[in-house]
A and B are shown apart, each in its own frame.
Chain A
């Protein structure tokens, strides 16, 4: 790695260091930038919206405001989230291409708020041309012996897809 490359990597670590809210999907641990988390609400009845993508579970009433809820497991091609006592909806707020988005993310369990320093961060894994897109991962955080995927939530619900949560092919 060239000196310059090292600097870039350091810059990256410094820039993504900070507080993360960690949560679980199946056995995996993920982190969301705390500044993008608006609140955590218990699971409530989700109204299915016809003719939308599978990972859109539907819409909920957030104190009078209607927001979409995304099943992150489905989004990551895991099995559909089943509701348990621990299942919650994390309400995130982010902007992408000048649009503000407020969405709910359905996760299995919320763990904690973790401060992750630059020295605890590894750059996103490179799967080479294996076809796995890691674009939406900011980096990998290490705390104790755990590995936490730090998500760029805007990219997870990726700009293009956020815009087209509606399945266009179906119209």
Chain B
């Protein structure tokens, strides 16, 4: 019995055991033992141990033990699936024998492949009547057999041995038959070598080939992938209970499993989508169907072990349908293909929901449309033809982009933009659009279908680029080394000796080196980049739930989910986004009645978009709600003594008040859109990422928050300032301006602190040399420079000697044991190779003029 089939059955049997009667596992244990003996290469130990406890009635918590057993079982299944990921579920792993080292092994495979080609030409020469060919063939096969035996690839050795027997047989076969067999062997051996190269045992195994060598020749090699599984269709899982199980166990083990499950499943689903597009374009083949089947099968196994019933049932139903496809009972095209697309999409939504539930420690909410989908799939399984969704037939010369924009309202500009970026990314259009999150894979497939409905010639869809999983530590190490290279390159190019050289050759080489270094830096940086999609998708659900709770009708439109940014930032940006969207729902978008009264559609819209601009990533959260109420904000700010009553503030300054801590959490201003819950958190998070946020609002028409973030956390724009003998870096993002004050601008405050009056705005003045005990700095502010910096909505002036230069620096930490030094955020290597310290502007901005921290004294802004 095939391994996987057995695992399947065992899993189902286990899942249906009532925890109240654990002794029901006894027969299973016996079966498993027998089976495990027959398959020593698979380790069932963990499962057996659990089951034995259950069978013996020694289990303290039968339900949990059952679950654990299931988990271990699917672990076994997964291990098998991984081993045989690319060529079929039943293949076995091959390990290089201990006496052979890997280079020798690979070398053998390489030469073996070459001699197979020679064997082929010899065999053909033999057929053509060349007299010495038979000897050559014999020699080759003999040598190959010997080598195969040495490196331990037994299947290959056995087959070659059988062929050799044929060749030296005293009653030789008629020549054509002999050649047929030789060629059959050669073809199989090629497959076998590929399998061995991937450290798998060849499929079909040697015995099968030897058998067909003995049989009447002239047949082609047996089908590479005999269908070894079958019984999936007939079985059914325990029915889904009326009330879906939405509680997730949150013990550490389960959470770890869940995390792994989510990660792997996302990957699996992406592969599934790609396979489906390939099928749409190139037609069905057994391998593709098998790989789809495997994906759902794995999902089912793990989901069942984790007790995720909805996911299990969808995976099971889809798997059942795909099994019928494998058996040739259903054709995987048109509406059936759409159903699989729908299934992967639904699966994606359920996984996203699960992800959300895990992240926010809430229960899983049921995902709408599941039952409908299950019903449609089941009716296909039951043999009813599904209804085809109508497809417009487009002539083959219609471009994919045109079809997409016609059928799915993808803006023509977006398609145009994708075509543009396609030039640099070298992706196909479909792939580009999917990557940017503008279309669903299903839509591309349908577009391809309608394209090829006119002709067969079209192939514009894409293939997901091959990826490998790399240890993050290695990527970081690489990026770090590239950083060093960049610094050394700058140092070399700027070294006085080199600069003095007038050789044009050296200059050319240096500029080439410079260019390559920048390119390398670029590539290195991109290695850490991931799409913002994962974060965006979390918001869909949130908007839906929140709008329902607040009785509003709100749709979330997203674009640019494929925009990439640094992996760590994607995680950090989630929090501010949640707050901003919450705000838009709570305070921005009006209720339906109010909207209609204002002449708007009842359905409100929140737009979430991401794009690259210059060296930054821009994320916009916009709504078409009532907008910010300038007067109300100002009134409240005055009431809270944040601003003077008659101060003249620009719009931007007024709107920025909502980020001031204390502004939002204080007295409720319910009659207007106070819009402030958690906005200080937003600001702080974005500051931490060294980003900026800008607000634009039109009363009655909506508000847009524009978050500008650096591409990566590792590099900042900094201004190098001198202070005494020392130099420090101030992040440019927090600098507003720098001024050379004259005496009339300086004010003493309470005899201790100093203030500087910048065009009527009175700001605390900090002396950098005093903060950092620097010696030899200028003491008279009028001879120095005051850098006006803004952090957390608060402005201060920082007295330094002078500004040296402005440059991009790679942020480094100060080494173990040197963290958390006050006022210092990190270090950077300057162009001359020395270390410069980066100032922590948040800490400096948080000081009062007399050097103490202000903490809760937010009221200081603008007073004085």
Min C-beta distance of A36 to chain B, whole Å: 14
- Do B822 and A45 touch (CB < 8 A)? no
Beyond A49-B814, A50-B774, whether A66 also contacts B821 by CB under 8 A is no
Report A-chain residues with C-beta under 8 Å of the C-beta of B819: 166
Residues of A within 8 A of B481 (CB): 64
Chain A: CB-nearest residue to B832: A45
B823 at the interface (CB under 8 A from A): yes
A66 touches B488 (CB 8 A): no
Q: How far is the CA of A99 from the CA of B835 in the complex (A)?
A: 23
Q: Which of A17-25, A100-108, A113-121, A142-150 contacts B (4 or more CB under 8 A)?
A: A100-108
Within the complex, the shortest CB–CB distance from B480 to chain A, in Å, comes to: 7
Does B837 touch A at the CB level, under 8 Å? yes
Contact A63 B484 (CB under 8 A): yes
- Contact partner of B812 (CB less than 8 A), chosen from A65, A162, A166, is A65
Task: Check if A171 sits within 8 Å of B829, measured CB to CB.
Answer: no
**Which residues of A sit under 8 angstroms from B829, Cβ to Cβ?**
61, 64, 66
A165 at interface (Cβ–Cβ under 8 A)?
yes
**Most central of B487, B488, B771, B833 by chain A CB within 10 Å:** B833
Bound complex: CA of A51 vs CA of B833, how far in Å? 23
Q: A128–B149 Cα gap in the complex (Å)?
A: 73
| CB < 8 Å neighbour of A99 from B773, B812, B816 | B816
B726 in contact with A100 (CB, 8 Å):
no
Contact A51 B823 (CB under 8 A): yes
Asked if A50 and B835 make an inter-chain contact with CB atoms under 8 angstroms apart, the answer reads no
Task: Indicate the member of A50, A99, A102, A163 with the most B CB atoms within 10 Å.
Answer: A50
Q: Check A50 against B773 for contact (C-beta < 8 Å).
A: yes
Q: Does B835 contact A51, Cβ atoms closer than 8 Å? A: no
| Whole-angstrom CA separation of A59 from B834 in the bound complex | 9
Give, as a whole number of angstroms, the nearest-CB distance from A65 to chain B.
7
Q: How far is the CA of A50 from the CA of B834 in the complex (A)?
A: 16
Does A47 lie at the interface of the complex (its beta carbon under 8 Å from any beta carbon of B)? yes
Question: Pick the contact of A68 from B484, B818, B823, B833 — CB < 8 Å?
Answer: B818
Question: Is A9 among interface residues, defined by CB-CB distance under 8 A?
Answer: no
Assuming the A-B contacts A50-B772, A50-B774, A63-B484, are A68 and B817 also in contact, with contact meaning beta carbons closer than 8 angstroms in the complex? yes
B816 to chain A: which residues have CB within 8 Å? 99-102, 162
Interface string of A26-70 (1 = CB under 8 A from B): 000000000000000000010111111000101111011111100
Q: Is the CB of A47 within 8 A of B818?
A: no
B824 in contact (CB, < 8 A): yes
One digit per residue, 1 when the CB lies within 8 angstroms of any chain A CB and 0 when it does not, for chain B 481-514 equals 1011001100000000000000000000000000
Find out whether the CB atom of B834 lies under 8 angstroms from the CB atom of A45: yes
Tell me, in angstroms, the Cα distance from A61 to B829 when the chains sit together.
7
B772 shortest CB reach to chain A, Å: 4
- The CA of A97 and the CA of B845, in the complex, are separated in Å by 35
| Distance between Cα atoms of A101 and B488 in the complex (Å) | 24
Q: CA separation between A47 and B821, bound complex, in Å?
A: 14
Question: A64 touching B484 by the CB < 8 A rule?
Answer: yes
The 8 Å CB contact of A60, one of B480, B487, B823, B835, is B835
Q: Give the chain A neighbours of B813 by CB distance below 8 A.
A: 66
Q: Is B836 an interface residue (CB 8 A)?
A: yes
Tell me whether A64 and B772 are in contact in the complex, defined as CB-CB below 8 angstroms, given that A47-B835, A99-B816 are known contacts.
no
A170 in the interface (beta carbon within 8 A): yes
Which residues of chain A are within 8 angstroms of B821 by Cβ–Cβ distance?
Answer: 49-52, 166
- Given contacts A45-B834, A47-B835, A48-B726, is CB(A59)–CB(B774) below 8 Å? no
Q: In the bound complex, how far is the Cα of B773 from the Cα of A50, in angstroms? A: 7
Would you give the shortest CB distance from B816 to chain A, in whole angstroms?
5
Q: Which residues, 724 to 758 on B, are CB-close (under 8 Å) to A? A: 726
Q: Would B772 and A166 count as touching, CB distance under 8 A?
A: no
- Shortest Cβ gap from B57 to chain A (Å): 44
Count of A-B contacts with CB under 8 A?
A: 92
Closest residue of chain A to B821 (Cβ to Cβ) is A166
List B contacts of A164 (CB < 8 A).
Answer: 817
Partner of B824, one of A49, A64, A102: A49
State the CA gap A48–B726 with chains docked (Å).
8
Main secondary structure of the interface of A (DSSP, over half): strand
CB-based contact A64/B835 at 8 Å: no
Interface contact B817-A101, CB-CB below 8 Å: yes
**Closest-CB distance, A42 to chain B (whole angstroms):** 13
Asked if B131 is an interface residue, CB under 8 A from chain A, the answer is no
Most interface-central of B816, B819, B824 (chain A CB within 10 A): B816
A62 to B822, CA, bound (A): 23
A contact residues around B836 at 8 Å (CB): 47
**B822 & A51 in contact (Cβ 8 Å cutoff):** yes
- Give Cα A101–Cα B827 distance, bound, in whole angstroms: 17
Q: Are B824 and A165 closer than 8 Å at their CB atoms?
A: no
Q: How far is the CB of A152 from chain B (nearest CB, A)?
A: 17
Is the CB–CB distance between A64 and B488 below 8 Å? yes
A49 & B818 in contact (Cβ 8 Å cutoff) = yes
User: How far is B458's CA from A121's CA once the two chains are assembled, in angstroms?
Assistant: 83
A47 and B724 CA atoms in complex are apart in Å by 13
A51 touches B772 (CB 8 A): yes
- Assuming the A-B contacts A50-B824, A59-B827, are A166 and B818 also in contact, with contact meaning beta carbons closer than 8 angstroms in the complex? yes
B844–chain A nearest beta-carbon distance, Å: 12
The digit string for A149-167, where 1 denotes a CB below 8 A from any CB of B, is 0000000010000111110
* In the bound complex, CA of A39 to CA of B235 (Å): 67
Q: What residues on B are CB-neighbors of A157 within 8 Å?
A: 817
Which residues from chain B contact A103 at a C-beta distance below 8 Å? 815, 817
A residues near B834, Cβ cutoff 8 Å: 45, 47, 61
Pairwise interchain contact B837-A49, C-beta atoms closer than 8 A: yes
A59-B814 contact given A45-B834, A64-B488, CB 8 Å threshold: yes
Name the CB-closest residue of A to B486: A64
**B389 within 8 A of partner (CB):** no
State which residues 585-625 of B face A: CB under 8 Å.
none
CB distance from B431 to the nearest CB of A (A): 37
Complex Cα distance A99/B819, Å? Answer: 13
Report the nearest B residue to A157, measured CB to CB. B817
Q: Among B488, B816, B817, B836, which residue has the most Cβ atoms of chain A within 10 A?
A: B817
| Contact of B670 with A by CB under 8 A | no
Is B132 engaged at the interface, CB distance under 8 Å to the other chain?
A: no
Give A39 to B820 CA distance when docked, in angstroms.
27
Q: How far is the CA of A63 from the CA of B726 in the complex (A)?
A: 21
Known: A47-B834, A64-B480, A64-B829. A162 touches B817 (CB 8 A): yes
**Cα–Cα, bound, A67→B812 (Å):** 10
Residues in chain A near residue B480, CB distance under 8 A: 64
Q: In whole angstroms, what is the CA distance A73 to B814 when docked?
A: 22
Q: How far is the CA of A132 from the CA of B602 in the complex (A)?
A: 81
Bound complex: CA of A47 vs CA of B725, how far in Å?
Answer: 10
Instruction: Compute how far the CA of A56 lies from the CA of B836 in the bound complex, rounded to whole angstroms.
Output: 16
Bound form: Cα–Cα A152–B816 in Å: 18
Q: Bound state CA distance, A52 and B480, in angstroms? A: 26
Contacts of B815 in A (CB 8 A): 59, 65-68, 101-103
Residues in chain B near residue A166, CB distance under 8 A: 818-822
Residue of B nearest to A162 (CB): B817
Nearest to B810 among chain A residues (CB) is A64
Partner of A59, one of B488, B772, B823, B835: B835
What is the bound-complex CA distance between A51 and B484, given in angstroms? Answer: 27
Residue pair A47, B812 in contact (C-beta under 8 Å): no
Residue pair A66, B817 in contact (C-beta under 8 Å): no
Closest to A100 in B: B816
Contact A66 B835 (CB under 8 A): yes
- State A68–B819 Cα separation when bound (angstroms): 11
A-B contact pairs, 26 of them (CB 8 A): A48-B726, A49-B814, A49-B818, A50-B772, A50-B774, A51-B772, A51-B821, A52-B818, A61-B487, A61-B834, A63-B484, A63-B488, A64-B484, A64-B812, A65-B812, A65-B815, A66-B827, A66-B829, A66-B835, A68-B814, A68-B815, A68-B818, A101-B817, A102-B815, A163-B817, A166-B822
Starting from the known contacts A49-B821, A162-B816, A166-B822, 15 additional A-B residue pairs (CB-CB under 8 Å) come to: A47-B827, A49-B814, A49-B837, A50-B821, A50-B823, A58-B835, A63-B484, A66-B827, A66-B829, A68-B814, A101-B815, A101-B817, A102-B815, A165-B817, A166-B821
| 7 residue pairs, one from A and one from B, having the closest CB atoms | A64-B484, A50-B772, A47-B835, A162-B817, A66-B827, A66-B812, A67-B815
